[in-house]
Structure 1
């Protein structure tokens, strides 16, 4: 199936660009992480299109979906994904979110449990103790207040960012640059140098205001509240060499989810769907094929 073609639909608040590989199977919606795009799921059709219809969207300000004039945060993104599913006629679906997108997926599963059958959380962790939670919450409230004051002024920089795109593309195309940036996220760079170059270019092209609001939103208390009510069968995939979301944070997250199956990939960084596509998608495929999950017996299996 062709997953390279970009499709476009218009929601009430603006257009959304997405990729799809669909021919009538149960749907799986894919949400990329902070500074990413639907391109992060480029290997997924090869491994999962035989069992699921795939829909991967670019969140506002990321990839080819334009930024919104209003604030972009986790709750707004969750509503957008639901509106996206509604427009495509997806009444029920499985959901896979990566990193920040996984946090958005948690909100969706908690607030619209009748819509989400199974949930995959890829490369996500949470605070490990009360002190970390307090510090994160305080930072969130302070930054949210600051954004309320400064957002109109920061929004005025958007035209300048658009004008700088040629320079950004040139800068991001330099091997020393894109390899250095990717090295902070990937444990091992893939052999396909073009994948790295394109990924870094999209990262550098992310709308700065949208990226800032998403980063601030990562500290929202809404995530922890959602975890307390969410009962969706969940697969949590993390990696031992993830410098962005360390395994200790993933363990803390798993402890808060009622019905969870944990899996860890060895010798892998923050983007397992790109670094180890066969091993990663095998875990996801097995989880999607399972008919039931026992929350008592599904904790901490070893992915090998």
Structure 2
């Protein structure tokens, strides 16, 4: 596999089972390291850093292509045979988009709190938008960063100055770019007879203490999938790949074994 000029991380394993890890917004492919360590080479796992994340180049805010579409294209280029997709948050929505578009390319889907807000109720979606609307209108990116990570959790302490803080500010501006994909479903992941065509086993993994909207989203998506399992990790929040890697690994292996 190759990913051109994006930074790609490889966690070697069974070469007959290629897998791709798709990380959350403001994360990196390195967040799959704890999982990879615990599944003992069950899959040959690749995880690239999205544009503007990790060690990849900055995102260009190109009006011709949104971030969700760009990440989906990068991931699709890495697939040459049926693959296990493991996605977290934003990355899980990319995994779903690929599975709906090319269901025959998917061996299994392990989805950790996909934030496809369009699948939730209008009331829940509006509340999600309202929490950030004032920051966006005022272009208060530091304030939005604090609120966003306060709602969803941070993998590490939030820096207030220096290159890392500057990149986080750029990343939180990228969150706005995802609204059309996540809030409005511009990619039509929820289209009629889309999810229903995914024959690969799917598992939704959630943290019991995560925002309520993620449970609503998983409920709506699971209702339409033909082969689906659900799991909730007690005491975990949205960043469970970092905080609860043991439980995540156990559940991931259950889904891998189903395929």
> Smaller-chain TM-score range?
0.7 to 0.9
Name the counterpart of 1:211: 175
Counterparts of 1:63-78 in structure 2 under 5 Å? Answer: 63-66=54-57, 67-68=59-60, 69=62, 70-78=64-72
Rounded to whole Å, the distance in 2 between the matches of 1:95 and 1:239 is 19
2:28/2:48 contact within 8 Å kept: yes
The SS at the match of 1:16 is coil
Q: Does 1:110 align with 2:76?
A: no
The SS at the match of 1:65 is coil
- Using the size of structure 2 for normalisation, the TM-score is 0.75
Q: Kindly state the Cα deviation for residue 42 of structure 1 after the two structures are TM-superposed.
A: 2.5
Name the counterpart of 1:260: 228
Alignment counterpart, residue 31 of structure 1, candidates 18, 22, 27: 22
From the superposition, tell whether residues 215 and 32 of structure 1 become closer, same or farther in structure 2 (CA, over 3 Å): farther
Q: Kindly state the Cα deviation for residue 134 of structure 1 after the two structures are TM-superposed.
A: 9.2
Unmatched tracts of structure 1, length 5 or more:
1-6, 140-153, 155-160, 162-167, 169-176, 190-194, 292-304
Name the counterpart of 2:238: 270
Name the counterpart of 1:148: none
Tell me how many residue pairs correspond in the alignment.
233
Q: Kindly state the Cα deviation for residue 94 of structure 1 after the two structures are TM-superposed.
A: 0.3
* Structure 1 stretch displaced more, 54-63 or 222-231: 222-231
Rounded to whole Å, the distance in 2 between the matches of 1:35 and 1:199 is 13
Name the counterpart of 1:299: none
Rounded to whole Å, the distance in 1 between the matches of 2:158 and 2:81 is 33
Rounded to whole Å, the distance in 1 between the matches of 2:104 and 2:2 is 26
From the superposition, tell whether residues 9 and 95 of structure 1 become closer, same or farther in structure 2 (CA, over 3 Å): closer
Alignment counterpart, residue 156 of structure 2, candidates 193, 196, 204: 196
1:33/1:100 contact within 8 Å kept: yes
The SS at the match of 2:190 is helix
1:124/1:238 contact within 8 Å kept: no
Rounded to whole Å, the distance in 1 between the matches of 2:124 and 2:46 is 33
The SS at the match of 2:107 is strand
Name the counterpart of 1:58: 49
2:22/2:48 contact within 8 Å kept: yes
- Using the size of structure 1 for normalisation, the TM-score is 0.65
From the superposition, tell whether residues 245 and 20 of structure 1 become closer, same or farther in structure 2 (CA, over 3 Å): farther
Q: Give 1 or 2 for the bigger CA radius of gyration.
A: 1
Rounded to whole Å, the distance in 1 between the matches of 2:149 and 2:67 is 25
CA offsets 1:98-120 (integer angstroms, 9 cap, x no match): 11111111110111222211011
Rounded to whole Å, the distance in 2 between the matches of 1:220 and 1:229 is 21
Structural RMSD (CA): 3.5
Rounded to whole Å, the distance in 2 between the matches of 1:115 and 1:199 is 40
Q: Does 1:80 align with 2:74?
A: yes
* Structure 1 stretch displaced more, 257-266 or 118-127: 118-127
2:207/2:232 contact within 8 Å kept: yes
